[in-house]
Amino acid sequence: MSSKALEMLANETVEDSDDDVPQLSAHALAALEEFYTDQHQQEKSASVQPAEDWNLSQFWYNEATCETLATEVEACCREQNPNSPSEVIVAFVSCPTLYLHVRKLRLNKQQSVDNLHLLEFDTRFASWDDSYQSRFNFHRYDFREPEKLPANLLGKCSLVIADPPFLSEECLRSTAFSIQRLICSNSGRLILCTGAVQEDLAAKYLNASRRQFKPGHANRLSNEFACFTNYSTITFE
């Protein structure tokens, strides 16, 4: 509805028979309600993702990193289930912006997002909404309670992407414990993004090897980041 049309509706009034106070007609009220509902929805759709909370050690990926990782996610899903790649269960552990990116890509292609799951501590992402009005799988996750996981995902995830929030052995060890409970025992694949200093621990706890690809962030970090996997990657070295 244009602003001119809105103004015309606002000028459409009827008089109350008792006190002669001007009021909008029922038609105008309904139209205004529709206008403001649409406007609110557009604002939500256009809104940016939640800002980084450095107290939670949050550093969002840059666009190029999201694209690279999303391409690998989709390639893994196609390889594991060529006929129905969207049926592959994927868990995103502590990497909410990548989850949003992959989810948006699928929805733009009118593909199902029912099997994409976000495990995240920050509850701002639990109420995230968008214009698609589609399923949003948020599960609150705290690496300090690594055993508290969705029962329906235990041993069911064919692919897990994780980015532990802190560069400490405790955090990686706890996250690794969760990953091992989530991932399919035989064919499950892992993509781990964390500091390069965690290379030995990634091998120790997850049998993951370093790749050439280096994740980047929208706000540059002083710590060198790296990508580790437990399989031979498909779309990047």
- From edge to edge, which strands make up the β-sheet containing 159-162? 138-140, 116-120, 90-93, 159-162, 189-195, 225-229, 209-210
Note whether residue 234 is domain-resident: no
Does residue 196 sit in the same domain as residue 84? yes
Q: What is the reported pLDDT for 32?
A: 58
Instruction: Check which CATH number belongs to the domain holding 61 and give it.
Output: 3.40.50.150
- Domain membership of residue 237 (yes or no) is no
Residue 106: give the domain boundaries: 54-229
Please give the tally of structural domains in the chain. 2
Comparing 38-47, 71-80, 228-237, the range with the smallest average pLDDT is 38-47
To the nearest whole percent, how much of the chain has pLDDT over 70? 75
Note the pLDDT tens digit of each residue in 167-176: 999 999 999 9
Residue 78 and residue 28 in one domain: no
Tell me, yes or no, if the pTM score tops 0.85: no
Calpha distance 12→22 (Å, rounded): 10
**Which of the four pLDDT bands, split at 50, 70 and 90, describes residue 87?**
very high
Q: Which of 16-25, 48-57, 72-81 has the highest mean pLDDT?
A: 72-81
Q: Are residues 126 and 25 in the same domain?
A: no
Do residues 81 and 29 both lie within one domain? Answer: no
Please tell me whether residue 118 adopts helix, strand or coil conformation: strand
101-120 tens-digit pLDDT: 999 999 999 999 999 999 99
Same domain, 26 and 136: no
Please check whether residue 216 lies inside any domain of the structure.
Answer: yes
61 and 33 in one domain?
no
Give dist(CA 137, CA 113) in Å, integer: 9
Beta strands in the chain (DSSP E): 13-15, 22-24, 90-93, 116-120, 138-140, 159-162, 189-195, 209-210, 225-229
d(CA 82, CA 25): 57
| C-beta of residue 227 within 8 angstroms of C-beta of residue 192 | yes
- The answer to whether residue 141 scores a pLDDT higher than 70 is yes
**pLDDT of 99 over the 50 cut:** yes
